[in-house]
Amino acid sequence: MVFVLNDFSQAFSKAIQLIFQLDPALLEIIGLSLRVSITAVLIASLIGLPLGAALALYKFYGRGIIVALLNAFMGLPPVVVGLVVYLILSRSGPLGVLGLLFTPTAMIIAQVCLITPIIAALTRQTILDANVEYHEQLRALGAKASRMMKTLLWETRFSLMTGVFAGFGRAIAEVGAVLIVGGNINHATRVMTTAIALETRKGDIELALALGIILITISLIVTSLVMSAKHAAYQYHS
């Protein structure tokens, strides 16, 4: 136990040292992590929010299967997603001509695949619950399903943030997929999680743990920034 505590305290001082030195290599890695994961969350939201709402409001043949798949895909193993995206983007794969493998774009694509199901499934549940509450009202106003979808998405926008955050959390913390499709190339595709995996492999546990502490801190900062914005907006509206 004493040893473990010792390891943690060393890692903490290393983390603080790294942050205050504003090490350019570290800043580059943090920057890419945020760029990749935030872009992935934005794209996944653009797909997942309308998809989830549509699944909640429209009745069509095969909806049950799509919903079941979506729920199952919330737990997709990142390594498998990485492998599939790799095979598709590889030069010998169907989209090989685009030359996207080992680029941040490839990493974004893999993360979109991972988190779209999460955002869509949570959106569907939120909209279902809201629909129970608003259904009569909206129908009385003669709203069509498409109109209802827009209204409900807007009315539940604060609750929907939970799903978006769940997606961001998974994206920023994920290592299996970005390692395969990004390749962990220094100055090109190295992000926080792949750097941590690399340092662990090199046996530099202290540096790995310090990077882990920084990753958690950044996650916390991003989440609380958006949470406080959400809180402010909520108060403004009510």
Partner 1 sequence: MKRVLTTILLILITMSVVIAEEESFITLSSTTSTDNSGLLDYLIPKFKDKTGIDVRVIAVGTGRALQLGERGDADLVLVHHKTSEVKFIENGFGIKRRDVMYNDYVIVGPKDDPANIKYLTKAVEAFKLISEHKVPFISRGDESGTHKKELELWSLAKIDIQKYSGDWYREAGAGMGATLNIANGMNAYTMTDRGTWLSFKNRDDLTLLFENDPPLFNQYGVILVNPERHEHIKYQQAKLFSDWLTSNEGQQAIAEFALENQQLFFPNAQREIATVETE
Number of residues counted as binding partner 1 (CB under 8 A): 34
Taking the C-alpha atoms of residue 161 and residue 126, their distance in angstroms, rounded to an integer, is 10
To the nearest whole angstrom, how small is the minimum distance from the Cβ of residue 11 to partner 1?
13
Interacting residue with partner 1 among 19, 34, 38, 39 (CB under 8 A): 39
Q: Which stretch binds partner 1 (CB under 8 A): 25-33, 85-93, 119-127, 222-230?
A: 85-93
Tokens 């998974």 correspond to: 170
Q: Which is nearer to partner 1, 108 or 219 (CB)?
A: 108
Alpha-carbon distance 76 to 115, whole Å?
9
Q: Does 100 bind partner 1 (CB under 8 A)?
A: yes
Q: What is the DSSP letter of 132?
A: H
Element (H, E) at 20: helix 2-21
The interface region with partner 1, picked from 64-72, 163-171, 197-205, 225-233 by CB under 8 A, is: 197-205
- State which of residues 65, 201, 235, 237 lies at the interface with partner 1 (CB under 8 A): 201
Determine if 101 is a binding residue for partner 1 (CB under 8 A): yes
Among 67, 71, 84, 90, binds partner 1 (CB under 8 A): 90
* 193 touches partner 1 (CB under 8 A): no
Q: In this structure, how many other beta carbons lie within 10 angstroms of the beta carbon of residue 99?
A: 12
Q: Which residue has the tokens 């004493």?
A: 2
Kindly tell me which of 49 and 213 has the beta carbon lying closer to partner 1.
49
Q: Does 34 bind partner 1 (CB under 8 A)?
A: no
Cα within 13 Å of Cα(120), Cβ side: 26
Of these, 34, 38, 47, 84, which contacts partner 1 (CB under 8 A)? 47
Interface mask (CB under 8 A) for partner 1, residues 202-221, using x and -? Answer: xxxxx---------------
Residue 43 CB, nearest approach to partner 1 (Å)? 6
Stretch of 39-47, 63-71, 125-133, 213-221 lying at the interface with partner 1 (CB under 8 A): 39-47
